[in-house]
Structure 1
Amino acid sequence: MNQQTNGDFPEGATVVFGGSGGIGAIIAEGFGQAGSNVAVTYNSKADRAREVAGRISGSGVRAEAFQCDVRDAAQVEACCRSVLETFRAIHTVVFAAGPVVEQKLLAETEPSLWEASVQIELQGFMHVTRAFLPALRDSQGSFVHIGSAGDRWWPPRDGLSVVPKAANEALIRGIAKEEGVNGVRANSVLVGVIEAGMFLELLERGVFDDAWIKETQKLLALKRWGKPEDIANAAVFLASRKAGYITGEQLNVSGGFGV
C-alpha cells in the first residue's frame, strides 16, 4: 500500500535514520501506526531493520529497509535516490542515528571517541540535511532531530552525546529559518532517560550504578524512566499537520529532567 491511511501527512514516506536502534525502531513503528509509509535505514543491523520494516508493513502501510552509513555523503545521497525511487516522495526525515555513547568527563574523552561521535551525529546529520532538503521542499515536509535533554541541563559524563546534538540544535534552527520560505519545518525532540537502546546497554554493563540511578531520579519531576513510545509520539506529532505552524522548536520529553 502506497497511500497514507489518514490526512496527518502528505503523500510519500517518513525516513528514519537509525531505524534499527532501540528508540529509532519504535519511532519508525510509530509513524507506521500513524498511517505513514516508512523507510527504515540502518548501517550494520540489516536483520533488525528488515524485522522492523516487516512489523510496520503488517499495519497496512508500506515499509522498506535501506542500508546507509551517514558518515559517507555519497551513501546518504544514494539512499535518498533509492527512497524516492521506492516511494516517489518523502515528507519527513527523522534523524535518530548515533553510537552507544561512553560516559566520560570532557577532560578524559579520548580523541577517537570524540571524532566517532561527531562523525555520526553532526557530520551525519549535515549529510542528511544536504541530501534530503530538495525532497522536503517538494513535499513541504519536515526534519525531526532526536536530541538530548542534556541541552537544557548538563548531565556530567554525557558530553559525547550532548555536544554533537547541541550543534545539531543550531542546525535545526538554521533549517527552520532558511527553509521556512520553502514550506520546510524543522524541530527537535529532546530525549531524557528512556528504557531502550543505549540506556539499557550501559545499565547492563554496570556503567549506571545504584548511586547514579538514585541521583538521576532526584532530577526527574515524573518519577519513572521514559518509554520509547514517548519519543515516538512526540516525533510523529512534530512531523504531522497537527504541528503545521511549529518550527525551530524543541519538545523536551524527559519527565521534567532538571526542572
Structure 2
Amino acid sequence: MRRHDPEFQLHGGYSTKRLLGNVPAMQQDFAARSGVAVVTGATGGIGSAVAHMLAARGCAVVLAYRSDAAAAAALAASLPRAVAVRADLTDPTACAALIERAGEVHTLVHAAGPHVPMMHLSTVTPTQFAEQVAQDVLASFNIVHAALPALRASRGSLIAVTTAATKRFPVRDGLSAVPKGAVETLVRGIAAEEGRHGVRANCVGPGMLTDGMATRLMASGDLNEHALAVTRANIPLRTFGTATDVAEAVCFLASDRARFITGQKLDVDGGYAA
C-alpha cells in the first residue's frame, strides 16, 4: 500500500528527513484550535506536567484545583494562556460552574484524585471505601457529565488519568485500583456512546513515578526503601517514570494525531502491567 509513495523506501520505510520534518508540527498540536483544555488536579505532579506540555504545544488551559490556591496561581502565571479556577469535583454544581467558566472546551484531562493510602483491602473500613469512591468515581462522573455538552459541540476529547494497577494488581493498592477500574469503565462507556458525536475518550494509566502520588506515599512512609526496591524489580525497565512521561501520553491522545483512537487505555508503566 505504501510502495507507491515516493518518500517510502522499500528497505528502510520513511526517510529520517521526513520523520524529523514532522517534529515542529507535532510540538504545536493545539496552536490552531479554538477553545481551551480543562485540566483537573492541575496542581498535582501529573496535572501540572500535563498543563505545561499542553501550553507548550499551543493550548490555552483552564487549571482546575481544589484547595491549593497559591500553587494554582503560580502555575497559571507560568503559562502563556492559563487561568486557575477552584472547583470541588464532588459537587456537581461546582463542576457545571467550572465548565461554564471555561467556555469552549476541546479537551478535558481528568487528572484529579484523592490521596490513596497503601492498605490491604481487609483493613479498609466501609466508611473509608465510600469516601474514596466519592472522591474518585463520583467526582469523575460529575466532571464528565458537566463537560459532555461542550465536548460534543467541539467534537473534543476526554482523557482520564487512572492507574496501571487496574491491569496488574499491586498488593495494598486496592483503594486506587478499585475506584480507578470504575473510572475506566465510565470512559469506555463514553467512548462507545459518544463517538457518534465525534467525542473521543481514553485513559492513561501511570505506573510507579518519581513524582506525583509516589512522592506523597514515600513521604508518608507507605513506601519504604524495601518496598521501592521490590517495586523496581517488578518493572521490566527497572526504573520509575516521571510525570512528564505521563503528560506525553496524555497530549498525544488529546491531539489530532490520535483522531482514530478511542475507548483505549495506554499504560505508562515501564512494562509493569505487560
Q: TM-score, normalised by structure 2?
A: 0.87
One-letter identity of the residue aligned with 1:232: A
The reply to whether residue 53 of structure 1 matches residue 76 of structure 2 is yes
What root-mean-square deviation, in Å, do the aligned CA atoms of Structure 1 and Structure 2 show?
1.4
Asked if the contact 1:173/1:248 (under 8 Å) is kept, the reply is yes
Cα distance in 2, alignment partners of residues 67 and 112 from structure 1: 26
Report what 2:98 is aligned to: 79
Residues 127-147 of structure 1 show CA distances to partners (whole Å, capped at 9, x for unaligned) of 111110000001100100001
Asked if the contact 2:38/2:107 (under 8 Å) is kept, the reply is yes
One-letter identity of the residue aligned with 1:208: L
Residues 8, 181 of structure 1: alpha-carbon distance in 2 compared, 3 angstrom cutoff: farther
Residues 135, 206 of structure 1: alpha-carbon distance in 2 compared, 3 angstrom cutoff: same
**How big is the shift at 1:6?**
5.1
Unaligned runs of 5+ in 1: none
**How big is the shift at 1:40?**
0.4
Cα distance in 2, alignment partners of residues 197 and 250 from structure 1: 20
Unaligned runs of 5+ in 2: 1-26
Asked if the contact 2:30/2:59 (under 8 Å) is kept, the reply is no
Report what 1:96 is aligned to: 111
Q: Which contiguous aligned blocks of 4+ residues in structure 1 show a shift greater than 4 angstroms?
A: 4-9
Residues 132-171 of structure 1 show CA distances to partners (whole Å, capped at 9, x for unaligned) of 0000001100100001000110011111111111001111
**How big is the shift at 1:22?**
1.6
One-letter identity of the residue aligned with 1:126: F
Report what 2:166 is aligned to: 151
1:62-73 to 2 correspondences below 5 Å: 62-73=81-92
Cα distance in 2, alignment partners of residues 6 and 117 from structure 1: 35
The reply to whether residue 208 of structure 1 matches residue 227 of structure 2 is no
Residues 215-257 of structure 1 show CA distances to partners (whole Å, capped at 9, x for unaligned) of 1112111111101000101000000000000000011100001
Report what 1:39 is aligned to: 62
The reply to whether residue 255 of structure 1 matches residue 274 of structure 2 is no
Cα distance in 2, alignment partners of residues 23 and 204 from structure 1: 17
Residues 258, 250 of structure 1: alpha-carbon distance in 2 compared, 3 angstrom cutoff: closer
**How big is the shift at 1:205?**
2.3
1:82-161 to 2 correspondences below 5 Å: 82-84=101-103, 89-161=104-176
Report what 2:254 is aligned to: 239
Report what 1:18 is aligned to: 41
The reply to whether residue 228 of structure 1 matches residue 236 of structure 2 is no
Specify the structure having the higher radius of gyration (Cα). 2
Report what 2:11 is aligned to: none
